Amino acid sequence: MTLESSERDFAARFAPYAAQGLIYPQPEGSPLLEFVAGGRVLYLFDRSGPYAAAPGQASVVVHGVLDPGSVELVSPERGEALNVQGVSALDGRGQVTHVLGQTWVVQARLPLVLAAFEALPPVTVGQWVTFKTLPPLHGFIIP
């Protein structure tokens, strides 16, 4: 199973769910984007190609692969949460805003495009989930 057919197709398909934030200058030769959004500093594997991301305000699709078995349906009482784990992974809690096959868009301080290589539990738009992602997170710059 593949999660994307190409970087361009993936970015175009999920562009409406891009997070708004700030990209910091990339160190020469680094494959990681430093992206600040939702009050968090994220280090994203740059899927748009070297030097595609200019420093400054940007729209970025933040994509994570879910850790198998980490997803649970929860009630919304505790609200959104997002915690950075290690260099480039997350755990969080948020509301499912879109379901596109094996891919969910979850609002957890910022919109996240989350997918899995295994079957995900059935969810509907509006339900709340907790989750963990595997490193690295991927970033797709939206022009």
Binned at pLDDT 50, 70 and 90, residue 122 comes out as: very high
Residues 7-19, mean pLDDT to the nearest whole number: 94
Domain boundaries, the chain: 7-142
Is 80 exceeded by the pLDDT of residue 91? Answer: yes
Residue 45: closest CA among 142, 141, 109: 141
Residues 21 and 142: their CA atoms lie apart, in Å, by 12
Q: What is the secondary structure of 3-45 as a DSSP string?
A: S-S-HHHHHHHHGGGPEEEEEPPPPTT--EEEEEETTEEEEEE
**CB atoms < 10 A from the CB of 129, how many?**
22
Model confidence at 101, in pLDDT bands (50, 70, 90)?
A: confident
| Alpha carbons 120 and 71: distance in angstroms, whole number | 8
- Per residue in 18-58, pLDDT (tens digit) is 999 999 998 777 889 999 999 999 999 999 877 677 899 99
**Cα-Cα-Cα-Cα dihedral of 129, 89, 140, 30, to 10°?**
170
Average pLDDT over residues 98-114: 96
* Confidence (pTM): 0.94
